[in-house]
């Protein structure tokens, strides 16, 4: 079974981006999850195929899943527009840079779970942060990071954007 999992976070405040990613063969567990997610939208969450432009999907075929329910016109444009465009660019560039094995182009798929804050206020910053977060997640997945030594070091600086424990 081949499945690569990665995570990327970029930016600060309401325009920050957080992306979780799964990459793997269409005929494996990632492909099964891709099909199930695409066929099972829920209230406020409608997975969709990422496109570079209309009628040109990113490759490997990529499914965008929004973590936050769309709450406003700007939030919708930030999610379906800026964030999707950033993911499309990051995935296509990774393919063209040979980050994935050759068979990935046509035989693998990607699922991204994307956080775009409902209070975002700068669509261009949302784009930049989602591009950086997706690029980070793709590279982390394919490199199978973090490694043990990275985990050991990270535990000395435990924190996330919402909480830092007191010493």
Distance of CA 131 to the CA centre of its chain: 9
Domain spans of the chain? Answer: 4-155
pLDDT tens track for 78-110: 999 999 999 999 999 999 999 999 999 999 999
Residue 116: phi and psi, rounded to 5, are -125, 120
What digits encode the pLDDT tens for the residues 10-37? 999 999 999 999 999 999 999 999 999 9
Listed residue (42, 34, 27, 30) closest to 3, CA to CA: 30
Q: What is the pLDDT of residues 34-77, one digit of tens each?
A: 999 999 999 888 999 999 999 999 999 999 999 999 999 999 99
Catalytic annotation, residues: 18
Topology given in CATH for the domain delimited by 4-155:
Ribosomal Protein S5; domain 2 (3.30.230)
């Amino acid at each position: 079974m081949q499945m690569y999992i990665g995570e990327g976070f970029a930016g600060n405040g309401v325009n920050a981006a957080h992306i979780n990613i799964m990459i793997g063969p269409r005929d494996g567990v990632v492909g099964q999850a891709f099909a199930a997610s695409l066929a099972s939208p829920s209230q406020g969450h409608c997975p969709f195929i990422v496109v570079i432009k209309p009628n040109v999907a990113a490759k490997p075929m990529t499914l965008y899943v929004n973590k936050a329910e769309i709450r406003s016109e700007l939030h919708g444009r930030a999610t379906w527009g800026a964030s999707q465009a950033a993911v499309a660019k990051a995935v296509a560039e990774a393919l063209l840079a040979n980050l994935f094995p050759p068979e990935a182009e046509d035989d693998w798929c990607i699922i991204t779970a994307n956080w775009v804050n409902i209070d975002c206020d700068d669509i261009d910053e949302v784009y930049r942060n989602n591009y950086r977060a997706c690029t980070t997640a793709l590279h982390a997945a394919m490199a199978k990071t973090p490694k043990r030594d990275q985990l050991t070091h990270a535990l000395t600086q435990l924190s996330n954007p919402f909480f830092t424990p007191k010493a």
